[in-house]
Amino acid sequence: MKVKQHIEQQLNEAQKALRCATALCHTDQMAFLRCTHSGLVISPYRGMFADASYWQSLNPTAQILHIARTLSVKLPSLVFAGPTAAAIHGFEHQWAIHHGGLYAADTEHGLKNRSRGELHRVYMSNIPIAHVDGVLVTSATRTVVDCGLMLPFRNALPIVNSALAASATTREEVQLLCDRMQRDCASVTRLLLNANPLCENGGESMMYATIVEAGIAEPVVQHTFVNPNDTTEWYRVDFAWFLPGGRVVVAEYDGMTKYVDPAMTHRKSIEAVVTAQSHRERSLLTWAVNAIVRITYDDVVRRYPMINKLIAEGIPLRS
């Protein structure tokens, strides 16, 4: 079965706008539904459609953003909140925070836990609105607070770190908003106490959060080691511990994009990236470092592989 030309045109136009297509009339609606039955088109949300192969090429955050932009066109007054707002603001986060669907702010009491399809309502007496690329979202500060209240510590800290690093909000603004809210914000206060905007991406932030939760000694984040014989040569590491007795341990977070994303590799081949990494490690071990621990995303997600690697190198627990 082929997708009819006018349906294909609507799908292509929506793709270019980074949105989903919507039926313009009942005839189109039926045509879209026939295409979904054939597997050529997918309906990720009620009344929305996308080319199946295109949709499957998108990561969960990109999928949520497509749906949010489409909803924003259909419901221009809709204000996204929580994890959805974090994605729209561009804050670093794990894809898993979108598994629960989309979130929108609501000023009506009693709707906090009400959902409309996959659109969940977050109650707030007053909605602080920001405009991001034509989409309405809660302010950066409110978004950080809501994510801190809604998400586990390890999922919320990357959002907090990212918002602070981008100067989208401050610790003081977040705490002030918490003080004005009539609810327990202990989870947000804990995030502020442990936030470290020096973490360069969501993976590093999640690793840092796992270190905090595990009670492991706090590392120095993004520490720079300089060649003692040539100060023009230096390397910055993700995490470093300076232990009693002079032992220095470094932990590097290895996200897969480090090897396959052209923006991260400067378009070098995987072989060239690995070679450069080996030279970097040899240099660090020659200059000042005693051990380098490589931590993968899977290590962090599973927690104990990361914890065991660090403890094996003598990283102590917090006293």
Judged against a pLDDT cut of 80, whether residue 61 lies above it is answered with yes
Last residue of a domain, one of 197, 230, 255: 197
141 and 216 in a single domain? The answer is no
pLDDT attached to residue 7: 87
State how many domains the chain has. Answer: 3
Instruction: Tell me the residue range of the domain where 52 lies.
Output: 5-57
More confident residue, 211 or 260: 211
pLDDT attached to residue 108: 83
Last residue of a domain, one of 168, 197, 226: 197
191 and 224 in a single domain? The answer is no
The residue-averaged pLDDT of 265-289 equals 77
81 and 179 in a single domain? The answer is yes
Residue percentage of the chain with pLDDT more than 90: 80
The residue-averaged pLDDT of 119-131 equals 95
The residue-averaged pLDDT of 191-207 equals 97
28 and 141 in a single domain? The answer is no
The residue-averaged pLDDT of 222-239 equals 96
Judged against a pLDDT cut of 50, whether residue 267 lies above it is answered with no
Within-domain flag for 282: yes
Judged against a pLDDT cut of 50, whether residue 182 lies above it is answered with yes
| 296, β-bridge pairs | 254
Within-domain flag for 317: no
Burial class of 26 by CB neighbour count within 10 A (0 to 12, 13 to 18, 19+): exposed
67 and 191 in a single domain? The answer is yes
Within-domain flag for 176: yes
pLDDT attached to residue 68: 98
The residue-averaged pLDDT of 288-297 equals 96
303 and 277 in a single domain? The answer is yes
171 and 226 in a single domain? The answer is no
Judged against a pLDDT cut of 60, whether residue 264 lies above it is answered with no
- Strand pairing report for 41-45 and 48-51: antiparallel
71 and 180 in a single domain? The answer is yes
193 and 216 in a single domain? The answer is no
pLDDT attached to residue 255: 76
pLDDT attached to residue 270: 60
pLDDT grade, residue 117 (50/70/90)?
low
The residue-averaged pLDDT of 121-127 equals 94
Within-domain flag for 283: yes
Q: List C-alpha distances in Å: 101 to 21, 94, 104, 169, 309.
A: 19, 14, 10, 25, 35
* H runs (alpha helix) in the chain: 5-16, 26-38, 52-56, 60-74, 82-89, 140-150, 153-165, 171-180, 186-194, 202-214, 257-260, 262-265, 270-287, 297-302, 304-312
Last residue of a domain, one of 153, 175, 197: 197
44 and 99 in a single domain? The answer is no
**Gap between the Cα atoms of 179 and 185, Å rounded:** 8
pLDDT grade, residue 263 (50/70/90)?
very low
